[in-house]
Amino acid sequence: MNKPSVDEVLSPKPEARLRIYAWTPNDPPAAYAGLIKVGQTTREDVNERIRQSQGQMQQTYTLHVDALAERDDGSTFRDNDVRQRLIDKKFANPNMDGSREWLRCTADDVKTAIAELRKGLRLSGTHHEDFVMRQEQTDAVDQTYDYYKSRWSEDADAVPRFLWNAKMRFGKTFTSYQLAKKLKAKRVLVVTFKPAVEDAWQADLQNHVDFDGWEYISQKSGGDPRDVAADTPLVYFGSFQNLLGRDRQGNIKPKNEWIHTINWDLVVFDEYHFGAWRDSAKELFEGEDDAAAKAEIKEQYAIGLDEVNEELDVAGKDQDLFLPITTRAYLYLSGTPFKALATGEFIEEQIFNWTYTDEQRAKAEFDAAHPNERNPYGALPQMRLLTYQMPDELLSIASGGEFDEFDLNEFFKAKGTGILAQFEHKDEVQKWLEIIRGSGASQALESLKTKSRPPWPYSDVRLLPYLNHAFWFLPNVAACHAMKNLLEEDQNVFWQEYEVVVSAGADAGVGLEALPPVREAIGSGHDTKTIVMSCGKLTTGVTVPQWSSILMLRNLKSPETYFQAAFRVQSPWSIKNPDGDDPNREEVLKPACFVFDFAPTRALRQISEYGIGLSPGEPNPEKAVADLVSFLPVLAYDGANMVQIDAGGILDMAMAGTSATLLARKWESAMLVNVDNDTLRRVLDSEEAMSAVARIEGWRALGDNVIETIINKSEKVKELKKKAKDGELDKKEKKELTEEEKEYKSLRKKVQEKLIKFATRIPAFMYLTDFRENTLVDVITKIEPELFLTVTGLTVADFNLLVELKVFNTERMNAAVFAFRRYEDASLRYTGIDSHEGLAKIGGYDTVIAKEAALTDEKEPETTD
């Protein structure tokens, strides 16, 4: 006979479980001001017990704490234990009307006492949070820890690097600290490019019970890390601006020399997309007037974008070159690490992904599995993108540019400052204001024809609640002021119920200084309506819960900039304990948020790039975009109807206007190949790879041992750069540095050009083959080996090996293959040809090569050093 289990022997937990509660009257008598009442009950409805206990008092109150009085081991504690713990901490316990339940403390103090009793700990401060990691956070910590351990087991002196590609609201600060704790780290350095995020790093460390006893120091908080005991876990928070700061001679400033003396256990780079952000930041601030832009960049990017760029380009992956520290491991955090992913800077086993799609999928799955429980993702709204084709009379004045599409910067072009600012196309902008209200003449006519009314932002009752607090992203300072002035003119009565805040230019303040006027205008958000005008400010690192929509009214090229701005409106807006009687309940006020875009092709191109860029492991671009739009619905208005677009439609429209010239650029781009030292070392270490590259046309002309020469010379340049920073270079060495740097950069560029030239042969192969390749893996596996060798000069096995070694950028090449096929399919359908059958017979190899040559001759190859 089987023995019963422990759970079967023990009695089940009683249905009536002891609960600790704490509440305060909303309008207390003077004697009760600042007091909180702590009690206990076995009733399921705590409020019933509170109302009973008030007796004659019977007034409105707020319930701050409602928690089970149970320890982790299953034993219980009582309200007397909680009160005694608070009394031991010197909180007053006045005998109010003969009751010992009143204490002079805060709700957080009560929560801390409960956490202490549950954990059997003595906690400092208000370490009262005791939530555990969500599954994805646990996965991130485990994967990173396992990777570090594997690298250290191979090489005890290795300094491993790991990237968390995690969107905002992932909980990067809390999870990073959990990784540090698992590593038993005693010294953690957090470095960011955006100092405004410091509050989150400090709050998580000082509020959660798991980090009790840890010490937090920053330039802002003060303190010297060297004074902290060696066995006390320490987190130091600093900015690149501060830690990279050097004097005019290029020497490390004395205030930063201490950083050399500490052997860090973990260095965390926050907002790592600054690698790509350097370019995006320029795009963001190009709309500011010169003085404002300089002030903003000086404040947020103190040492200057160009200087950072130079530091990073020299350093490459050797962080010690620009941050002179020693550490056991690096952790990189970013929500938009497109450049790091695209260039193969991190291989697959060095990346943990948590994207918008992952988040929304987890939200839906939790609801399905736990319908009656609080969803930890519930307050994170779903994004929806609505794009609008402007009527012909507006398109005619502002079309052109690279894709011959609606030019938002031209349309909203303005001049003047302050109250004198005006749009150059003022009449057309006025018509646009009428259109987005659904009252334009052409919209009325189309509605009559189609017998349907499309959802214009400021007219559809389903959208209006999400536009009570909107962000309008305009081209420059003049446009922001011009829009405010136009909205305030007498004819625009509708718009005057919105308070317009211009967050642009020097007068708006620098960095976070621009935020208080916005928050003051919004207030609680329930009885106000606002429109914030900006051309760059408040688009990164800022949380305004009430923002529920953004109108994209300027040209943006990079998906980093586009989605950093768009995600401002995806911040959660909810009320905890909405009725004051249940601190465990949360009311979500913003289940969805909206992005409105008036340049449809540009918008859909951003969506496709975002979907593809954040799915580096997905070989099929259409599937990557399909995954994204399953949680980010896209609706497009074509002038007559508004329809939801699927992934195929998005990709087709995103490539609308793609010409042979633009297609050729994809196959000539320096982003298709990787020629950094790590990649070149992988080639050098492989006999087969060295043989393969030697067969690339023109390679032998580069000379013997070209790869080894590049690596050796670049390493020498790094050494000389280090000496230069320490002021140790003599005149001869400075000249040597210049010559060595020129030579290795020239050689690297030549290697890059040869690889790009090879890449341009792949479309010729795809013209000729009878297979239908949509991805790079198709090119490699669905092959005609002899044809591939004839056209490209390499065997398929050679090419496959170079792809595996990351010589060719898989993600970029996937996108190029996919774009080529869609473009070619469209061209063939136009001419009535639906397949490749007989294509070679029609034109022959020479004809196809001639067509390809015409493509590639249209533009000189773009390369980078």
Percent of the chain at pLDDT exceeding 70: 72
pLDDT at 640 over 50: yes
Tell me the range of 220-229, 268-277, 525-534, 651-660 where mean pLDDT is highest: 525-534
Q: Do 765 and 787 touch, CB atoms closer than 8 A?
A: yes
pLDDT at 367 over 80: yes
Tokens representing 497 are 């119920």
DSSP string, 594-661: EEEES-HHHHHHHHHHHHHHT-TT-S-HHHHHHHHHTTS-EEEE-SS-EEE--HHHHHHHHTTT--HH
pLDDT at 299: 47
pLDDT at 111 over 80: yes
pLDDT at 670: 67
Q: Name the β-bridge partners of 191.
A: 238, 269
Residue 806 neighbours by CB under 8 Å, 6+ apart: 344, 347, 674, 679, 682
pLDDT digits 0-9 by tens, 400-456 = 555 556 789 999 999 998 999 999 999 999 999 999 998 765 555 555 454 567 789
pLDDT at 621: 74
Dist CA 442 CA 444 (whole Å)? 5
pLDDT at 7 over 50: yes
Dist CA 384 CA 283 (whole Å)? 24
311 confidence band (pLDDT: 50, 70, 90): very low
Lowest mean pLDDT among 40-54, 722-736, 782-796: 722-736
Q: Which long-range contacts (CB under 8 A, 24 or more apart) does 356-360 make?
A: 356/167, 356/383, 356/570, 356/614, 356/628, 356/631, 356/632, 357/614, 357/627, 357/628, 357/630, 357/631, 357/632, 358/136, 359/167, 359/169, 359/170, 360/631, 360/632
Q: What is the mean pLDDT of residues 264-288?
A: 64
Lowest mean pLDDT among 323-337, 420-434, 733-747: 733-747
Mean pLDDT score of the chain, rounded to an integer?
A: 77
pLDDT digits 0-9 by tens, 782-823 = 667 777 788 788 888 888 888 888 888 776 777 677 666 665
pLDDT at 411: 93
Lowest mean pLDDT among 448-452, 632-636, 663-667: 448-452
Q: What is the mean pLDDT of residues 204-227?
A: 84
Tokens representing 393 are 């009379």
Tokens representing 203 are 């709050």
Dist CA 583 CA 567 (whole Å)? 28
Residue type, 720: L
Q: Do 394 and 411 touch, CB atoms closer than 8 A?
A: yes
pLDDT digits 0-9 by tens, 136-192 = 999 999 999 999 999 999 888 888 999 998 888 888 999 999 999 999 999 999 987
pLDDT digits 0-9 by tens, 833-853 = 444 443 333 233 333 333 333
pLDDT at 860: 37
Percent of the chain at pLDDT exceeding 90: 24
Topology alike, domains 135-354 and 358-369+381-576+584-657: yes
16 confidence band (pLDDT: 50, 70, 90): low
Q: Do 249 and 725 touch, CB atoms closer than 8 A?
A: no
Q: Fold for 135-354, please state it.
A: Rossmann fold (3.40.50)
Tokens representing 316 are 């490459």
Domain boundaries, the chain: 17-119, 135-354, 358-369+381-576+584-657, 666-704+753-856
SS (H, E, C) 114-129: HHHHHHCCCCCCCCCE
Give the angle subtended at the CA of 610 by the CAs of 605 and 616, to the nearest 5°: 125
pLDDT at 108 over 50: yes
Q: What is the mean pLDDT of residues 300-329?
A: 51
Buried b (16+ CB within 10 A) or exposed e, 284-300: bbebbbeebbebbbebb
pLDDT digits 0-9 by tens, 571-601 = 999 877 776 667 777 888 899 999 999 988 8
pLDDT at 343 over 50: yes
pLDDT at 41 over 60: yes
Q: Fold for 358-369+381-576+584-657, please state it.
A: Rossmann fold (3.40.50)
Residue 117 neighbours by CB under 8 Å, 6+ apart: 71, 77, 81, 82, 85
Could you count the other beta carbons within 10 Å of the beta carbon of residue 72? 9
Dist CA 567 CA 553 (whole Å)? 16
Give the angle subtended at the CA of 138 by the CAs of 586 and 626, to the nearest 5°: 75
430 vs 655, residue with greater confidence: 430
pLDDT at 128 over 70: no
Q: What is the mean pLDDT of residues 2-26?
A: 67
pLDDT at 312 over 60: no
Tokens representing 189 are 């350095």
* pTM for this predicted structure: 0.70
pLDDT at 13 over 60: no
729 confidence band (pLDDT: 50, 70, 90): low
pLDDT at 451: 54
